[in-house]
Amino acid sequence: MNKTVLVWFTNNQRVEDNRVLEAAIKTGHQVIGVYCFNKRVYELNQFGFKKIDRFRAKFIQKSITDLKTALKQKNITLFTFYDLPENCIPSICEEFNIKDIYIQQEWTFEELSEFEIVNAALTDVTFIEVYDQFLFHPDDVPMAFSEVAEVFTVFRKICEKKSKVRSTIDIPVLGASNFVDVETKIPSLEDLGFKAFEQPAHSAFPLEGGENAAKKRLEHYFFKTKKLGFYKKTRNGLIGVDYSSKFSPWLANGSISARYIYEKVKLFEKEHYKNQSTYWMIFELIWRDYFKFISLKHGTKLFLRDGFKERKYEWQMNHKAISQWINGETAEPFVNANMIELKETGWMSNRGRQNVASYFAKTMKQDWRIGAAYFESLLLDYDVHSNYGNWQYVAGVGNDPRDRVFNVKNQAERYDPNGKFQRTWLQKELF
Q: Which residue among 374, 391, 406, 425 contacts ligand FAD (CB under 6 A)?
A: 391
Kindly give, in sequence order, each residue whose CB lies less than 8 Å from that of residue 91, ignoring residues fewer than 6 positions away: none
Q: Which residue among 357, 364, 378, 397 contacts ligand FAD (CB under 6 A)?
A: 357
Could you say which residues in the range 130-149 bind ligand FAD, by CB under 6 A? none
Nearest Cα to 194, choosing from 377, 358, 6? Answer: 377
Other CB atoms within 10 Å distance of the CB of residue 166: 17
Contact flag: residue 42 with ligand FAD (CB under 6 A): no
As measured in angstroms, the least distance from the Cβ of 171 to ligand FAD is: 23
Give the CA dihedral 317, 323, 324, 326, nearest 10 degrees: 110
Residue 308: what are its φ and ψ, rounded to 5°? -65, -35
Region binding ligand FAD by CB under 6 A among candidate stretches 27-35, 148-156, 208-216, 376-384: 376-384
Instruction: List the beta bridge partners of residue 7.
Output: 33, 102
Distances in Å between the Cα of 395 and the Cα atoms of 296, 320, 400, 416 are 20, 20, 9, 23
As measured in angstroms, the least distance from the Cβ of 64 to ligand FAD is: 19
Contact flag: residue 102 with ligand FAD (CB under 6 A): no
Region binding ligand FAD by CB under 6 A among candidate stretches 25-33, 118-126, 185-193, 383-391: 383-391
Alpha helices by DSSP H, 46-104: 54-73, 85-96
As measured in angstroms, the least distance from the Cβ of 311 to ligand FAD is: 17
As measured in angstroms, the least distance from the Cβ of 191 to ligand FAD is: 25
Three-state DSSP at 222 gives helix
Instruction: List the beta bridge partners of residue 129.
Output: 103
> Which of 14-37 are b and which e, b meaning 16 or more Cβ less than 10 Å from the residue's Cβ?
bbbbbbbbbbbbeeebbbbbbbbb
Amino acid 140 reads D
Region binding ligand FAD by CB under 6 A among candidate stretches 3-11, 136-144, 384-392, 412-420: 384-392
Region binding ligand FAD by CB under 6 A among candidate stretches 163-171, 175-183, 326-334, 347-355: 347-355
Q: Which residue among 386, 392, 399, 422 contacts ligand FAD (CB under 6 A)?
A: 386
Residue whose CB is less far from ligand FAD, 86 or 341: 341
Contact flag: residue 288 with ligand FAD (CB under 6 A): yes
Kindly give, in sequence order, each residue whose CB lies less than 8 Å from that of residue 121, ignoring residues fewer than 6 positions away: 86, 89, 90
As measured in angstroms, the least distance from the Cβ of 207 to ligand FAD is: 11
Nearest Cα to 369, choosing from 296, 300, 270? Answer: 300
As measured in angstroms, the least distance from the Cβ of 2 to ligand FAD is: 42
Contact flag: residue 377 with ligand FAD (CB under 6 A): no
Binding site for ligand FAD (CB under 6 A): 235, 244-248, 251-252, 284-285, 287-288, 291, 349-350, 353-354, 357, 375, 379, 381-383, 386-387, 390-391, 394
